[in-house]
Structure 1
Amino acid sequence: MRNKRLFILMIGLILFIALMGFTLGRTRLTWPEKFLSDAFGTVQGTLYRPVGAVADFFRDLGRLSDVYKENEQLKQTVAQYTQDQIRFNLLEAENKQLKEDLHFTEEQKKMDKYRYLVAQVVGSTSNPYEKTITINLGSRAGIKPEMAVRTVDGLVGLVSKVKTFTSTVTLITDLDPSSSKGTPVSATFLGKPESFGIIEYDDVTGTLQMTKIDERDKPADGDKVITSGIGSLFPKGIIIGEVKSSQVGDFGLTYTAIIKPAAKFDHLREVMVIVVPEVKEP
């Protein structure tokens, strides 16, 4: 049995050596070899195309995922840039406004020795019969009732209610001097220190008026109207508006002037509470 195995091994070795000797040094293939080579190449090409397509598909998916991530990152960058730009614009506008307020405050300090507390408007009433706004300063910041309130443009109103952190401001369009609880706003014309009048609001016409003007102080269109500081809670020298037109008043002895308010009541965002130095009693 062992000799038989040895005989088969020798025959196989002889055939292998003969095959190597037969093929060694040849440059041309026999037709069986060509057939097997072509068949293997065809099968290999047939299998490679779908496998390559699948590989390319998954590779493209990977690239698509990378593109998606880059796109998301770019969107976030653009959004952040837009937000930063908005924040920059807001800060720039706020800085400009604060500079104007500071300049205004310093100039007024030199003139009238008033102090100003800058406050933000945080609310307004929708009641047409009670025109008020709410500011974000209260008693903790030193706000007291009956303090005058203005903007850089002009007079706004009077503090009517004070809480710890907020206060209610009644607009001058709601300070009815004819009411028992009304607060008259005494006014004068800039450049005419002897002139005098009372500021009222006409609900019918929706206009601000200066009444009881002496016939010797006939108003002219464009005259600046300011607080006189006489007999009222409002300190002197605060711009109220300018004269649009005028007409003869009571019995032809006085004039009534229609006033265009200096303050923009529809766009109140920031106001200043006027702190008047207390007069020490002797």
Structure 2
Amino acid sequence: MRNRRMFVLMIVFILFVAVMGFSIGDRKKLTWPENFSLDSTAFVQEWIYRPAGYVSGLFKDLANLHAIYKENEELRKVAAAYARDSIKYNFMDAENKRLQEKLHFTERQKQLYNYEYKIAQVIAVNNDPYSETIRINLGSKDGIKPNMVVVTDKGLVGLVNRVDPFFSSVMPITKLSETSPDTKAIAATVLGKETESFGIVDNFHTETGKLTMSRISEHDPLAKGDTIITSGLGNVFPRGVVIGTVDSSQVGDFGLTYTATITPAADFDHLTEVFVVVQMSDMGESGQ
């Protein structure tokens, strides 16, 4: 009995749908029950679809976020590697240029005056005005001796005044004083005018940061802008080491000679590497 009723209901439902289909196909307007039915179905479909679409989009966005995160991580690694390699390259490039300049400097000086140059690292600088010294990482084990001249590729730094087995102390020319028995005056001349020019660099003025060159003849061709170099006289400072540049010249204290103000060539505020000049006589003694 139940199956018969179910069967009848199904037949009725099918006929109802068929009749609605035909009636809708023939009509341009729907009745309000039909409109209500269709709108309700659409509302339910929209209500179900939106959350489903949202959830689906959420999972898709999460997947995209994961992919973007991985991509950003890779980009960060690439950027870090690039920065590291860039810094390394810049450092190596700068170091290569710096060493090339120093090599050219030493080779040029060797060819001119046949000295040996030992490169040293500055490990400490004592700026105490009463005990101003520079410490370097070469000592007696490296053939360093007292009174050896220390220079940079720019100019004269000073003299070695104490030697230990592995380290040495350098007295800079900024300690030069005509009244001090611990400093040695420098016999100097003008580059390009060696046979006509002569003077003594014997004093440094802390207030101005300048050197004084005295005992200059009134007929000396020295002029502002000239480069002052060691003359080699006195057998302490080798010939041809740049001391500085002439700022000005004036009549000396007694009116018989002139003095000149010299700007040191070496940069004492940024000493990192220096050269110890080994003369032929020192090399000969080392070999004995």
TM range, smaller chain? 0.7 to 0.9
Counterparts of 1:203 and 1:40 in 2: how far apart (Å)?
A: 98
Question: 2:75 is aligned with what amino acid?
Answer: L
Classify 1:138/1:55 alpha carbon distance in 2 versus 1 (closer, same or farther; 3 Å).
Answer: farther
**CA offset at residue 167 of structure 1?**
3.8
The total of aligned residue pairs comes to: 272
Q: Which residue is 2:55 aligned to?
A: 54
Question: 1:248 is aligned with what amino acid?
Answer: V
User: Is the contact between residue 183 and residue 232 of structure 1 (CA under 8 Å) also seen in structure 2?
Assistant: no
Q: Which residue is 1:193 aligned to?
A: 195
1:154 aligns with 2:161: no
Counterparts of 2:265 and 2:142 in 1: how far apart (Å)?
A: 27
Describe the SS at the equivalent of 1:60.
Answer: helix
User: Is the contact between residue 154 and residue 262 of structure 1 (CA under 8 Å) also seen in structure 2?
Assistant: yes
Q: Give the TM-score normalised by structure 2.
A: 0.74
Deviations 1:251-274 (A, max 9, x none): 222221111222233333432221
Q: Which residue is 2:209 aligned to?
A: 206
Counterparts of 1:46 and 1:136 in 2: how far apart (Å)?
A: 83
**CA offset at residue 176 of structure 1?**
2.8
1:272 aligns with 2:269: no
**CA offset at residue 249 of structure 1?**
1.7
**CA offset at residue 227 of structure 1?**
0.9
**CA offset at residue 238 of structure 1?**
0.5
Deviations 1:66-113 (A, max 9, x none): 323323432342343233223322222221221222222222222211
Q: Which residue is 1:246 aligned to?
A: 249
Deviations 1:46-66 (A, max 9, x none): 344324323422432332233
Q: Which residue is 1:94 aligned to?
A: 95
1:78 aligns with 2:79: yes
Deviates more, 1:186-195 or 1:129-138: 129-138
Classify 1:136/1:71 alpha carbon distance in 2 versus 1 (closer, same or farther; 3 Å).
Answer: farther
Structure 2: runs of 5+ lacking an equivalent: 22-35
Deviations 1:118-170 (A, max 9, x none): 23444433434444434444455444433211122211122334455554333
Deviations 1:195-236 (A, max 9, x none): 432212123443111112244436322332111222253211
Deviates more, 1:73-82 or 1:146-155: 73-82
Which of 238, 257, 260 is the aligned partner of 1:257?
Answer: 260
Counterparts of 2:213 and 2:268 in 1: how far apart (Å)?
A: 18
Classify 1:12/1:116 alpha carbon distance in 2 versus 1 (closer, same or farther; 3 Å).
Answer: farther
Q: Which residue is 2:236 aligned to?
A: 233
Deviates more, 1:48-57 or 1:178-187: 48-57
Q: Summarize the alignment of residues 12-161 of structure 1 with structure 2, pairs less than 5 Å apart.
A: 45-161=46-162
User: Is the contact between residue 184 and residue 232 of structure 1 (CA under 8 Å) also seen in structure 2?
Assistant: no
Counterparts of 1:69 and 1:166 in 2: how far apart (Å)?
A: 54
User: Is the contact between residue 218 and residue 255 of structure 1 (CA under 8 Å) also seen in structure 2?
Assistant: no
Deviations 1:9-44 (A, max 9, x none): xx67777777787788985689xxxx9999887656
Percent identity of paired positions between Structure 1 and Structure 2: 48
Classify 1:164/1:28 alpha carbon distance in 2 versus 1 (closer, same or farther; 3 Å).
Answer: farther
Counterparts of 2:145 and 2:4 in 1: how far apart (Å)?
A: 121
Describe the SS at the equivalent of 1:64.
Answer: helix
User: Is the contact between residue 139 and residue 165 of structure 1 (CA under 8 Å) also seen in structure 2?
Assistant: yes
Q: Give the TM-score normalised by structure 1.
A: 0.76
**CA offset at residue 182 of structure 1?**
1.6
User: Is the contact between residue 240 and residue 261 of structure 1 (CA under 8 Å) also seen in structure 2?
Assistant: yes
User: Is the contact between residue 114 and residue 275 of structure 1 (CA under 8 Å) also seen in structure 2?
Assistant: yes
Q: Which residue is 1:7 aligned to?
A: none
Question: 1:197 is aligned with what amino acid?
Answer: G
